[in-house]
Amino acid sequence: MKRGLFIFLSIVFAIAGGDNLRAQGGFCDDIEPFCAGDEKLVFENSNAFDGGVTNGQMGPDYGCLLTQPYPAWFFLQIEESGNLNFTISQFQNENGTGAQLDVDYVVWGPFENADDYCNNASLNEENIIACSYSEAARENLSITNAQAGNLYVVVITNFSRSRGYISLQQTNPNQAGAGATDCSILESTLGEDRIICEENSVILDGTTEDATNYEWYIYDEVNDSYNVLPGETNPTLEVSVTGNYRVVVSNSGDGSTDEDDVTVSFYDKPVASLPKDFVACAMEEETVNLTQASAEILDENTSGENYQVFYYASEEAAEEDRAITNPQTYDWSNNTEVFANVVGQESGCKSETIAFEITTTTFNDPGIEAITPACLDEQGNLLQNINIGSDVGEEYSYEWYEGNNVVSTNPVLTFNNTPSSRDFRLVLTDTTTGCSRAYETTIEYFSAPAGVLFEIEGSDFTGGYRVNAEAVPGPGSDTGYEYRMDNGSWQSGAVFKNVQPGSHVVYAREINGCGIKASESFDLVGYKRFFTPNGDGYNDTWGLIFADEMEVRALYIFDRYGKLLKQISPYGPGWDGTLNGTNAPARDYWFKLEYLDETTGIFREFSGHFSLVR
């Protein structure tokens, strides 16, 4: 858009000898345009007697101006590229006569129209292109290689503080390489194009000093022309319809005219509807896709404009427009409240901000493991039905899949015979929230051991017995087994150490509960570690255990000092704990055994001790 296109103002002040441009713009926010054109521009200065601004505003870097008394802020815009030379002078009288008054200036630039050139960051030392703080009443200002469209900010100060007049005149107009200022920017009118959110109307203001006539127009796209709005002759115009509007201003005194236009677009304010509480479908989900709530949030918007939903982690973030950058994978673990608003993609109009909670849905456990064991008999037939899953409640729906086919909608999937497939999947859906979870399992077939083998190592006379067991697999998949000896505890290992002499059986069971198998009974030869000759009929004698299974030549009993007390038959009832008809004392006794080593065929000796307990 144009920045004020009213050339008649410059003409008035350039040719009307009796009229002056009163110095305005004591602050940059009140900056005014000026241009000299082919004529000298004269205006009354600010001074100590007219209530002008005493000193320059704080913030800008004024360069060489150590003081800035009674400043006047102006801007020059370049119409034609080139070099511009100006004379700035200050005299007591309007016609350049009377006392010579010290005048100073500083110039910043170049800037673009869209720049915030009144910002302190713009009015810095680096942007100063000219400056003079001399005592002269006439100063020279040069701007070299100015480009069309560039803009320069000028501050002119009245160091004398006396009443007087300041004049500006370009000294090189129409010369080769000379530039020219744009005298059509003396006032800003309608401004930038406007986007109106929610409001029904807006006032356009074309008020221009010294304008005597106003006409308003609206653009007709069909005929590609502007049509006059009848009866609209005021400086302002209230509009309520989207369109491109133009104001034409004129001065009946000199016949000068100018125009400006602006596009006004009316939009409905977007509406952000509060969604139902947003559901994270399982507590273990670290992220959620917030955009799944977008359709519900946009539901009440009926305008044809495209809208986008933005999500925020806090109300403060929404106020500062710091949207969540990854709403599709939002980590909600530390924040269950989310804020959102709706923004029109064409207009930029924004809705009110809403807040909603992320709630969680947890699933009752249907008890489905990665492997579902099924038990087979020795012929490979099912021992019992296969039942997968459990009924976790009426608030759920159940879909069992074999591949991509639904094979059941019952809570429990049951087979009376081995199915053709082994892989199945349950999709469990919470009918209240719509959340679903999938559980997969593979049927594995197992069976009880077909038998239990064992191997015996060592003896009671050579460090103790060691029994190594082995389950013979039955039909079905490879599996694991647990073992126990006699009535002992189950163990995962198949090795039993320090087995006592006596009669034993080893058991093996399949770990998935598909059955138990026992080995043949076996006997281990050895000796008792203690005996209790108290006449109760239990453990009343001491001797060898199952000595008839090994060849023993002699068996001797000694006291603790090595004195031979008795020799007994290895195959007899054993020692009853008496010596010469008298009860032997309760203590430890030693024995020596001469036996045949079946491995080598040589008789060996073995010594040990036992306890007599009374």
pLDDT tens string 386-442: 999 999 999 999 999 999 999 999 999 999 999 999 999 999 999 887 888 899 999
From 127-141, 164-178, 221-235, the region with the lowest mean pLDDT: 164-178
* 184 pLDDT higher than 70: no
Q: For 477-493, what is the mean pLDDT?
A: 94
* 169 pLDDT higher than 60: yes
Considering just the CA atoms, what is the radius of gyration of the chain in Å?
Answer: 54
Q: What local confidence, expressed as pLDDT, does residue 284 receive? A: 59
pLDDT > 90 in the chain, percent:
62
> CA triplet 584, 589, 591: central angle to 5 degrees?
120
* 449 pLDDT higher than 90: yes
Indicate the pLDDT class of residue 36, thresholds 50, 70 and 90. Answer: low
* Cis? peptide before 110, omega within 30° of 0: yes
Q: What local confidence, expressed as pLDDT, does residue 211 receive? A: 80
What is the C-alpha separation between 130 and 62, in angstroms, rounded?
10
Tokens of 4: 């004020």
Q: Name the average pLDDT for the chain.
A: 88
* 20 pLDDT higher than 50: no
Residue 491 to residues 381, 405, 485, Cα–Cα distance (Å):
28, 42, 9
Q: How many CB atoms lie within 10 A of CB 495?
A: 12
Q: What local confidence, expressed as pLDDT, does residue 546 receive? A: 76
Q: For 67-86, what is the mean pLDDT?
A: 90
* 23 pLDDT higher than 70: no
Residue 164 to residues 94, 430, 556, Cα–Cα distance (Å):
7, 87, 146
pLDDT tens string 263-279: 999 999 999 999 887 77
* 39 pLDDT higher than 80: no
Q: What local confidence, expressed as pLDDT, does residue 168 receive? A: 86
pLDDT tens string 536-585: 999 999 999 876 778 899 999 999 999 999 999 998 899 999 999 899 99
Q: What local confidence, expressed as pLDDT, does residue 282 receive? A: 61
pLDDT tens string 87-104: 999 999 999 999 999 999
Lookup result for tokens 């701007």? 143
Q: What local confidence, expressed as pLDDT, does residue 361 receive? A: 78
From 41-50, 247-256, 505-514, 567-576, the region with the lowest mean pLDDT: 247-256
Q: Find all residues with CB under 8 Å of 115, minimum gap 6, and list them.
A: 122, 151
Q: For 319-334, what is the mean pLDDT?
A: 90
pLDDT tens string 499-542: 998 889 999 999 999 999 999 998 888 998 999 999 999 999 99
